[in-house]
Amino acid sequence: MDWKLRGTTFATVFLAELGDKTQLATLSFAASGSSRLAVFAGSAIALICTSAIAVLFGEALARVISPRTLQKLAGLLFLVMGAWVLWAAFGPAEAPKPG
């Protein structure tokens, strides 16, 4: 087992998930529900399933596209999404609608 890769993956996913909408939804379910264990189990299983899908697709893509190219494409996608979010937040205001 590659412990360095395991640690890097854990730290990256852990930090990425802190404060995101999934964690906030889980917090909301735990606050309003009567079974914290059920909320924990449901959210943990969901994260495991989405991670499994990502690993399977990543492995399949790596057979067609080199891992280096995949890393560059993922980085570019994050930059595009970041620019889109910034544009939506600070871009030009919408033109007033006639009426």
- Read off the pLDDT of residues 79-95 as tens digits, 9 standing for 90 and up: 999 999 898 888 776 66
Q: For the whole model, what pTM was predicted?
A: 0.66
Contact 39, 33 (CB under 8 A): yes
Would you tell me the crossing angle of helices 36-64 and 67-90 to the nearest 10 degrees?
120
Residue 49 pLDDT > 90: yes
Amino acid identity, position 14: F
- Mean pLDDT for the chain overall: 89
Q: What is the pLDDT of residues 28-44, one digit of tens each?
A: 999 988 899 999 999 99
- Higher model confidence: residue 99 or residue 7? 7
Q: Is the confidence at residue 99, as pLDDT, over 70?
A: no
